[in-house]
Amino acid sequence: MSDPTEANGTAGADEAAEPAQTPGGGAGRRHVRVVLVDDHRMFRTGVQAEIGQTEQTGVEVVGEAADVDQAVTVITATRPEVVLLDVHLPGGGGVEVLRRCAALMSDTEQPVRFLALSVSDAAEDVIGVIRGGARGYVTKTITGTDLVDSIFRVQEGDAVFSPRLAGFVLDAFASTDAPPVDEDLDRLTQREREVLRLIARGYAYKEIAKQLYISVKTVESHVSAVLRKLQLSNRHELTRWATARRLV
Amino acid sequence: MLRPARRVTISGMPEAATAAAPLDEPRPPRKLYRSSDGRWLGGVARGLAGHLGLPVIWVRLVFVGLFTADGLGALLYAAFWFFVPLGVGGVEAQKPPSLVTTETSPDGRKRLVARKPDKGQIVALLLMVVVAMVFVGNVNLGRGAQAYLLPAVLAGAGVALVWRQADNARRARWVEVGRRKRTLTLLRAVAGVLLVTAGVTGVFVLQGSAAHLGSVLQAALAVLVGTTLLAGPYLVRMTQDLSEERLMRIRAQERAEVAAHVHDSVLHTLTLIQRNADNPGEVRRLARAQERDLRTWLYKPEGTGKDEADEPTTLADAVRRNAAEVEDKHGVPIEVVVVGDCPLDERIGAQMQAAREAMVNAAKYGGDGGAVQVYAEVEGKTVFVSVRDRGPGFDPDSIPADRMGVRESIIGRMERNGGTARLRAVPGGGTEVELEMERVEKTS
């Protein structure tokens, strides 16, 4: 909610700026090119209307796509910085888009980053796209301000965990019925767990930093570490877990 | 299947027209069905027994008894078999789970596999053959007819085999039969046809003489092959068409189900929203309630209690239910995240009540700042619930004496049940209530 400027938040020191809800946080100097992938035209139009005023938000929608093939074509052609990706798409779903854009994601010059934006909150959908390489997941009920915020966060290489995603991840890593294959990867550290828990409880990065007496940068690195573990983890039970229980 | 209160009224259509088709409202007068479960032969005896409320064995004995009376039992049985449809009704309550044959297919498949040997049926068939032989041997119908009995019995057995086959095909409509059953099906059909052929051939041979056996058999075979060639492709095509049509019907049914739901809930909500367009609070409340409802309907897995009338039995259910009710009542969005789950016991029940109170407080006093966040986690034996709002916040040490809600309903209730409650101001603004409770020992 009030999570405006975590990018310039140094050690969570600036309390004075806290209540001021500047949309997009210093939008003037930032600029990000975005592609919208969603099979509902109404929704694309709505998002476009909400975040597309480039002068105010700093977001420029450079392309739209309604299915997997279109998405791959548009993304390859426009090379956006961030793709807002729906989970359910005709032609194989968001996971398929991620698979076919894997090369673009790992591009060192100008990587394309994906933010999953979905109405589905079935755990296997969500975990699926995250494991496929998306940098974060937000639900479609998100406000325009928060969405712009998340887009910039993803553009900067950070991960975006909504409370719900944090809950899914905690749940997935908590159910340790089988011994992890790779100890380092398959275990969340105490700190990471704490950070995730606070995200799940609705805390913003800055609030988490204050709560745990660490810097916002540290919070970011914890979240990124969790994302990396989630994407690289070779625990089979992650997938099994996701299909076995559909948490809402 | 799911929505008992489905309304079929379509706007503009006279009420009488729809009322004329009270399809599933009153139970039709009990109809006689043959039982597909635990039957020996055609399921006639079981079906009758279920219908009349008698033990199956009595009915079977009666049939056997009638059978000795010049084969009357067999005729009766055959008549019942022919005219009474195979169904799931009329099974005696011996095997309660098997009563739900029409329901879920995984369940049904498992049961079918388990019953694959069909020992009872094989034994029954053999018994029937033996009895028939004895019958043939003993009964004297007169010189001419006597000779025809054996072929007749043979043909009868073949017909019975094929009929059973038809029954199975019909049952396969309810429960999907595995691919391995197909070969068995074919074998049975072939055996049935061969038996009938043998019987009929026997009759013709008897009319002529044993010397004609070869040519009659040849002729019969030729006719059989000819018929198969002529009718075979047609039959195959028909079966394919039928199964396709069945698939379409199932799809149409599903569609109707979704349409009914959309009509019942979504359209009504949209109508209400149009009427309340100038009341943003109400619109938001309606939309959220509808979203939640539809989400539950869409994403809840089949068979996990889609009927929402019953009380919640697990922590996750209880938290969501409480949040939904508070959300509806106070019009403040509540976002719920649950990690892990556990059954409710009395302590957790108390915790749930405290959590509900906390949600109500958060919605009342902190609802202006945005959604209320509820987080519940089960970790080992500890259940932790946090409720936070982004309202103005207040100093926990100076709870006014009149705030009974906090003091009694939250803190007091938790402590009386052996848990702890903590209220605190969140660094970023707002209030957070943390409730912690140990689950009741399972052994005690």
Q: Does A246 touch chain B if contact means CB atoms closer than 8 Å?
A: yes
Residue B8 has pLDDT above 70, yes or no: no
For A181, B81, B177, B328, the CA distances from A241, given in Å and listed in that order, are 16, 49, 29, 32
Q: Does pLDDT of B385 surpass 90?
A: yes
- Better pLDDT: B392 or A149: A149
Confidence bin at A35 (pLDDT 50/70/90)? very high
**A33 and chain B: CB distance < 8 Å anywhere?**
no
Provide the b/e sequence for A208-229 (b: ≥16 CB within 10 Å): bbbbbebbbbbbbbbbebbbeb
Domains of chain A: residue spans and CATH: 31-174 (3.40.50.2300), 183-245 (1.10.10.10)
Q: Are B410 and B433 in contact, with CB atoms under 8 Å apart? A: yes
Greater confidence (B78 vs B120) lies with B78
Greatest alpha-carbon pair distance for chain B in Å reads 114
Does the structure show a pLDDT above 70 at A75?
yes
Q: Would the pLDDT of B23 be above 60?
A: no
Average pLDDT value for chain B: 72
For A76, the token pair is 């390859």
* Window from A168-172, B430-434, B440-444 with minimum mean pLDDT: B440-444
Helix (H), strand (E) at residue B195: helix B180-207
* A77 close to A109: Cβ distance less than 8 angstroms: no
Unique residue bearing structure tokens 């400027």? A5
Which of B299, B338, B373 faces A202 most closely, judged by CB atoms?
Answer: B373
Cα–Cα nearest to B339, from B304, B377, B283: B377
pLDDT of residue B268: 81
Is the pLDDT confidence value at B75 over 70? yes
Q: What is the predicted pLDDT for the residue at A36?
A: 92
- pLDDT (mean) for A173-179: 57
Please judge whether B428 and A166 are an interchain contact, meaning their C-beta atoms are less than 8 angstroms apart: no
Predicted confidence (pLDDT) at residue B374 exceeds the cutoff of 90: yes
The dihedral region occupied by B57, where left means phi > 0, alpha psi between -120 and 50, and beta the remainder, is alpha
| pLDDT tens, position by position, A195-211 | 999 999 988 888 889 88
Q: Say what the pLDDT of residue B166 is.
A: 65
Model confidence band, residue B434 (pLDDT cutoffs 50, 70, 90): very high
Max distance between CA atoms of chain A, in angstroms, equals: 52
- Flag whether residue A6 sits within 8 Å of chain B, measured between CB atoms: no
Q: Which residue stretches of B262-314 are H helix?
A: 268-275, 280-299
Taking only the tens place, the pLDDT of each residue in A54-68 is 778 888 899 999 889
- Lookup: tokens for A206: 């800055």
Closest CB to B337 among A1, A19, A163: A163
pLDDT on residue B400: 61
The pLDDT value given to residue A184: 53
> Residue B210: what pLDDT?
64
- Nearest-CA distance from A119 to chain B in Å? 9
Distance CA B39, CA B86 (A): 11
DSSP label at residue B314: B
Both structure tokens of A95: 């996971």
Q: What are phi and psi of B366, to 5 degrees?
A: -120, 10
Q: Which of B22-31, B266-275, B326-335, B388-397 has the lowest mean pLDDT?
A: B22-31
User: Which amino acid belongs to residue A87?
Assistant: V
Question: What is the reported pLDDT for B300?
Answer: 64
Find the closest chain A residue to B334 by CA distance. Answer: A202
- Which one-letter amino acid corresponds to residue A243? T
Give this complex's ipTM.
Answer: 0.74
**B375 chain-A contacts, CB cut-off 8 A:** 163, 167, 197, 200-202
- Does the beta-carbon distance from A167 to B432 stay under 8 Å? no
Which spans in chain A are helix H? 41-51, 54-57, 68-78, 93-100, 102-105, 123-132, 144-155, 163-174, 190-200, 205-212, 216-232, 236-244
Question: Which chain B residues are closer than 8 Å to A205 by Cβ?
Answer: none
CA gap B237, B243 in Å, rounded: 10
| CB spacing of A247 vs B379 below 8 angstroms | no
Q: Is the CB of residue A197 less than 8 Å away from at least one CB of chain B? A: yes
CB B290 within 8 A of CB B340: no
Q: Is the Cβ of A127 closer than 8 Å to some Cβ of chain B? A: no
* pLDDT computed for residue B90 by the predictor: 43
Geometric angle at alpha carbon A57, from A51 and A61, rounded to 5°: 50
Flag if A248 and B301 touch (Cβ within 8 Å).
no
Question: Is the CATH number of domain B314-438 3.10.129.10?
Answer: no
* Mean pLDDT to the nearest integer, B396-420: 75
Q: Average pLDDT in the B340-345 region?
A: 85
Beta bridge partners of A85: A37, A116
Question: Residue B384: beta bridge partners?
Answer: B377, B436
pLDDT, tens digit, 9 for 90 and up, residues A5-17: 444 433 333 433 3
Say what the pLDDT of residue B139 is: 60
Lowest mean pLDDT of A12-26, A117-131, B233-247, name the range.
A12-26
Comparing A108-112, B188-192, B362-366, the range with the smallest average pLDDT is B188-192
Quote the pLDDT of residue A108: 76
The DSSP secondary structure of B9-25, one letter per residue, reads: --TTS-HHHHHT---SS
d(CA A185, CA A232): 7
Per residue in B222-275, pLDDT (tens digit) is 888 888 888 888 888 888 888 889 999 988 888 887 777 777 778 888 888 888
Partners of B390 on chain A (C-beta within 8 Å) are: 1-2
Rounded to whole angstroms, how far apart are CA atoms B98 and B36?
10
Q: How many CA atoms within 13 Å lie on the side-chain side of B118? A: 17
Averaged pLDDT score across all residues of chain A: 77
CA distances from A217 to A8, A12, A197, A209 (A): 9, 9, 17, 9
Chain B residue with minimum CA distance to A203? B428
Mutate to test the interface with A, among B296, B319, B337 (most CBs of A within 10 A): B337
Minimum-distance CB partner of A248 among B299, B340, B370: B299
Residue B326: pLDDT over 80: yes
pLDDT at B325: 87
Say if residues B96 and B46 touch (Cβ distance below 8 Å).
no
Position B167 scores a pLDDT of 65
Decide if A18 and B429 are in contact by the 8 Å CB cutoff: yes
The pLDDT value recorded for residue A118 is 82
pLDDT tens-digit readout, B124-149: 777 777 776 776 666 655 555 666 66
Long-range contacts from A224-228, C-beta under 8 angstroms, 24+ separation: A224/A157, A224/A158, A224/A159, A225/A189, A225/A192, A226/A159, A226/A161, A226/A169, A226/A188, A226/A192, A226/A195, A226/A196, A227/A130, A227/A135, A227/A136, A227/A159, A227/A161
Q: Calculate what percentage of chain B has a pLDDT beyond 90.
A: 5
**Of B295, B204, B188, whose CA–CA distance to A120 is shortest?**
B295
pLDDT value at residue B103: 36
Whether residue A201 and residue B301 make contact (CB cut-off 8 A), yes or no, is: no
Q: How many CA atoms lie within 13 A of A112 on its CB side?
A: 25
pLDDT reported for residue B383: 92
How many angstroms separate the CA atoms of B190 and B337, rounded?
A: 60
Token couple for B440: 């009741």
| CA B278, B280, B285, B287 torsion-angle sign | positive
**How many other C-beta atoms are found inside a 10 Å radius of the C-beta of residue B227?**
11
- Chain A residues within an 8 Å CB radius of B337: 163-164, 166-167, 200-201
Inter-chain touch B300–A246, beta carbons under 8 Å: yes
Q: Do A170 and B299 touch (CB under 8 A)?
A: no
Beta-carbon neighbour count of residue B210 at 10 Å? 8
Q: Which two tokens stand for residue A66?
A: 């309604």
Is pLDDT of B106 > 60?
no
How far is residue B439's CA from residue B381's CA, in Å, rounded to a whole number? 5
Rg (CA), chain A: 17
By the 8 A CB rule, do B42 and B163 touch? yes
Identify residue B53 by its one-letter amino acid code. G
Which among A72-81, B22-31, B303-312 has the top mean pLDDT?
Answer: A72-81
User: How many CB atoms sit inside 10 A of residue B161's CB?
Assistant: 19
Which residues on chain A are in Cβ contact (under 8 Å) with B335? 163-164, 202
pLDDT at B309: 53
Residue B52 contacts by C-beta under 8 Å, 6 or more apart in sequence?
Answer: B59
CB contact under 8 A, A1 and B320: no
Contact yes or no for A207 and B427 at CB 8 A: yes
Residue B80 sits at the vertex; the CA angle it makes with B78 and B84, to the nearest 5 degrees, is 135
State the pLDDT at residue B37. Answer: 64
**In chain B, what are the domain boundaries?**
44-90+117-171+179-254, 314-438
Residue the block writes with tokens 């059909």 = B189
Beta bridge partners of B314: B343
